[in-house]
Amino acid sequence: AQKITQTQPGMFVQEKEAVTLDCTYDTSDPSYGLFWYKQPSSGEMIFLIYQGSYDQQNATEGRYSLNFQKARKSANLVISASQLGDSAMYFCAMRENTGFQKLVFGTGTRLLVSP
């Protein structure tokens, strides 16, 4: 069964520094997608970045990049040049390509950016 693990309940970073949020996953499906979402205090879910299991390159979207290590089954999110507005909950999620394509989330990491 697919599973997502985020082992960091909370992370602190200073403004303008980079931070890495960890995510490991487990699946037996060779085809899957990995996603990162941001959830500010308002509760809305904001999609950040996507990585496909067959993608050769690490995904990047502006200040967000995904450090994809397939053999280790990890998909860490790197936020460069942190901003105060990056303070939020961050969720890693995975969708397998088989069955009903459930989208399963990790428990999240709360990031706090300090001035």
Residues lying near other proteins in the complex (CB under 8 A): 6, 31-33, 35, 37, 43-45, 47, 50, 52, 91, 93, 95-97, 100-108, 110
Q: How near is the Cβ of 78 to other proteins at its closest, in Å?
A: 19
Residues 60, 79: Cα–Cα separation, whole Å: 10
When the beta carbons of 84 and 103 are compared against other proteins, the nearer one is: 103
When the beta carbons of 10 and 17 are compared against other proteins, the nearer one is: 10
Specify whether the CB–CB gap between 30 and 70 falls below 8 A.
no
When the beta carbons of 17 and 32 are compared against other proteins, the nearer one is: 32
First to last CA, the chain: 41
Q: How near is the Cβ of 105 to other proteins at its closest, in Å?
A: 4
Q: Quick one: which H or E segment has residue 22?
A: none
Structure tokens at 29: 């499906």
Amino acid present at 69 = Q
Residue in the structure block whose two tokens are 């088989």: 98
For residue 86, report the phi and psi dihedrals to the nearest 5 degrees.
-80, -10
Q: How near is the Cβ of 104 to other proteins at its closest, in Å?
A: 6
Q: How near is the Cβ of 16 to other proteins at its closest, in Å?
A: 27
When the beta carbons of 42 and 115 are compared against other proteins, the nearer one is: 42
